[in-house]
Amino acid sequence: MRISPAYLYKRLSENHITDVVVNRDRKSDSNSQRHSSNPEAKGTYGQFSEKAALSCVCFGEQEPAEDRIRVACTDTGVSKNEIVVTYGIGPKPDIHILDNTRPESVLFEIQEIFRELQDWFERLTAIEQENGMVQSLLQESLSVVKGQLCVIGMDYKVIAATEGRMRDELSSYKDGFMGTTEESYSDITSLKQDPVYYKLKDIDGVFFYPGNLAVDPSYCINLKRNGETAFRLMINAANPEKDGASSFLLEILAPFVSHALSYNLPGKGADRSLQHVILTFLSLKDADYMTISSRLEQLGWPQESSYFCLVLKPSAFDVMNMTLRTICGYLENTIPGSAAVAYDQKVVMFVCMAVCPYTIAQIEQRLSLFIRDSFLKAGYSRTAEGHFNLRRQYEQALIAIETGERLRPDRWIFRFRETALFYILDQAEKRLPAHMLCHEGLLKLIEHDRIHGTEYAQTLRVYLDNSRNAVRSAKELYIHRSTFLYRIDRIRETLGSDFDDPDEVLYLMLSFRLLDNEKRRTKEEGHSA
């Protein structure tokens, strides 16, 4: 462990060793490192090693051994009987103590600072040996670091955070890993959209992030996996100049956090997790559903429960920034009884309604603003009982998005029940065009209208849409009832039908929809050409 002079200066000042001044003229030595942003520490580069805690009090011109701190009383400084603190052998002291404090008191304070840091180091070591969680390391560091800490992935998922770091308590986490919450997501969004935050990913050692309108400035250190930055350890710095002296503590904490991340990364024991089971039946169309059902039962999702699926199609921005796991964490923290995974560049969430305290309507309400503000497209499946329809529910939600986007590209939420008919129509036209599928009599009506300027086809459509109610239909068409009845008689003659056959009625109604669908698709193709 090594202690920066700026930190020692800060602590001596806090411990009422008053009138402390850091020498601004001391040149960098072999132990030179990045200086603190503390204005009083500028020009101070050396670090005090743990051996310094064993230093004796030296007087006069006696030189200390290398790697030692000298606490000396001298009459050559700013004032008579000045106390100076010097690291190693050097021509000038690092820190001047300008009051009448005894050298022994200064040394005692320095030894206490080292002892405090050594105790912290030992506590971190104990957590590491027990393969403890990242959250435990951060909480254990609060008494020393004196700031709000956060570990966040480069996919913007909040891994762990002390209270208040992301403007919420973040008190709920699973297996030691915190997901993004409703309160913290705005902060995460601000980081995603900040090019400065991302560009700092290649920096080694402690660095300063200036923050933005939503997130406070922070001192940070990047944590790497296979040579690439995968996580970032951050300590907020509401007062950068004051807090900079403590930033070196991140270098002590970082190796412990890296070990905890490698040991407790999501995926340990993944074969037993809900997320793993979901990925299994999504990726394997011939998956053993008896085994899957058994695992879901063991994990608290009963076969007799109802389930539904939500598929989120992310924006290109989210795909580029690899934020799908962050979205998964948000969904799981917002909707109890849910499990979310990233699959095929989409987010897939299943909800066990026996575990979730919300209704479908309440779930939709809780997620609506999040989906809109995150520029996502959402597809909801229907609810279904049991485990054997889960894969099909995923297909329903996917169909809802794909079909809904074509029908209403301005919307961001689509439900399968609202798009199912249009999907059926699309499937029907894969082998034959609409005019080859629809009712021959309807085609005759349309041709009659074209030649004679009549409105028989529209009259028939209104009649069928109003469940064959003549009064309502005449009113909607703004014609007299007798006129309407005359038209219906002529339509019956052309069709050779009296509308008593329900299959005939259904065929006519589907025919109208098929022709609408064909017209819409032709229009879309014209726009895209």
Give the model's confidence band at 68: pLDDT under 50 very low, under 70 low, under 90 confident, else very high: low
Q: How far apart are CA 238 and CA 3, in angstroms?
A: 22
- The percent of residues in the chain predicted with pLDDT above 90, rounded, is 31
The answer to whether residues 181 and 366 touch, using CB atoms and an 8 Å cutoff, is no
- What's the rounded mean pLDDT across residues 344-356? 93
Residue 301 has pLDDT above 90, yes or no: yes
Least confident range from 374-383, 468-477, 487-496: namely 487-496
Give the model's confidence band at 23: pLDDT under 50 very low, under 70 low, under 90 confident, else very high: low
In terms of DSSP H, where are the helices of 15-133? 103-129
Residue 504 has pLDDT above 50, yes or no: yes
Q: Which positions ≥6 away from 62 have C-beta within 8 Å?
A: 70, 72
Beta strands in 288-333 (DSSP E): 306-313
The domain segmentation of the chain, as residue ranges, is: 2-120, 131-264, 270-428, 434-528
Torsions phi, psi for 308 (to 5 deg): -145, 165
Residue 90 has pLDDT above 70, yes or no: no
pLDDT at 244: 72
Token reading at 330:
């948000």
110-149 pLDDT, tens per residue?
A: 778 888 888 898 899 888 878 788 888 999 998 888 778 8
DSSP string, 364-428: HHHHHHHHHHTT-EEEE---EESSTTHHHHHHHHHHHHHHHHHH-TT-SEEEHHHHHHHHHHHHH
Token look-up 């193709």 returns 525
Q: How far apart are CA 498 and CA 492, in angstroms?
A: 6
- What's the rounded mean pLDDT across residues 23-43? 35
Q: How far apart are CA 322 and CA 314, in angstroms?
A: 10
pLDDT at 98: 54
- What's the rounded mean pLDDT across residues 394-407? 93
Token reading at 417:
């029940």
pLDDT at 198: 81
Beta strand pairing call for 158-161 and 149-153: antiparallel
pLDDT at 330: 84
- The percent of residues in the chain predicted with pLDDT above 70, rounded, is 73
DSSP class of residue 41? G
Torsions phi, psi for 384 (to 5 deg): -150, 150
pLDDT at 404: 92
Where is pLDDT greater, at 351 or 55? 351
- What's the rounded mean pLDDT across residues 437-455? 91
Where is pLDDT greater, at 427 or 521? 427
- What's the rounded mean pLDDT across residues 274-286? 87
CATH class of 270-428: alpha beta
Give the model's confidence band at 526: pLDDT under 50 very low, under 70 low, under 90 confident, else very high: low
Q: Which of 16-30, 430-444, 514-528 has the highest mean pLDDT?
A: 430-444
- Considering only CA atoms, which of 209, 215, 210, 230 is closest in space to residue 185? 215
Give the model's confidence band at 9: pLDDT under 50 very low, under 70 low, under 90 confident, else very high: confident
- What's the rounded mean pLDDT across residues 419-434? 87
Q: How far apart are CA 9 and CA 84, in angstroms?
A: 12
Least confident range from 139-143, 221-225, 235-239, 322-326: namely 322-326
- What's the rounded mean pLDDT across residues 252-261? 88
- What's the rounded mean pLDDT across residues 158-163? 81
The answer to whether residues 170 and 184 touch, using CB atoms and an 8 Å cutoff, is yes
pLDDT at 222: 93
Where is pLDDT greater, at 73 or 11? 11
Q: What is residue 451's three-state secondary structure?
A: helix
Q: Tell me the residue type at 200.
A: L
Give the model's confidence band at 302: pLDDT under 50 very low, under 70 low, under 90 confident, else very high: very high
Q: How far apart are CA 107 and CA 111, in angstroms?
A: 6
- Residue 323 CA neighbour count, 13 Å, CB half: 26
Residue 487 has pLDDT above 90, yes or no: yes
Q: Which positions ≥6 away from 302 have C-beta within 8 Å?
A: 352, 354
Where is pLDDT greater, at 519 or 102? 519
Residue 62 has pLDDT above 60, yes or no: no
Per DSSP, what are the bridge partners of residue 150? 161, 234
Long-range interactions of 284-292: CB distance < 8 A, separation 24+: 285/391, 287/391, 289/387, 289/388, 292/387
434-528: which CATH architecture?
Answer: Orthogonal Bundle (1.10)
pLDDT at 183: 55
- In whole numbers, what is the pLDDT of the chain averaged over residues? 77
CATH class of 131-264: alpha beta
177-234 pLDDT, tens per residue?
A: 445 555 566 677 778 778 888 888 888 889 999 888 777 888 999 998 877 888 999 9
Q: How far apart are CA 470 and CA 459, in angstroms?
A: 10
Least confident range from 171-180, 231-240, 279-288, 386-395: namely 171-180
Q: Which positions ≥6 away from 306 have C-beta within 8 Å?
A: 353, 354, 383, 384, 385
pTM of the model: 0.54
CA 124 from centroid of its chain's CA atoms = 28
DSSP string, 190-213: HHHT-HHHHHGGG--SEEEE---S
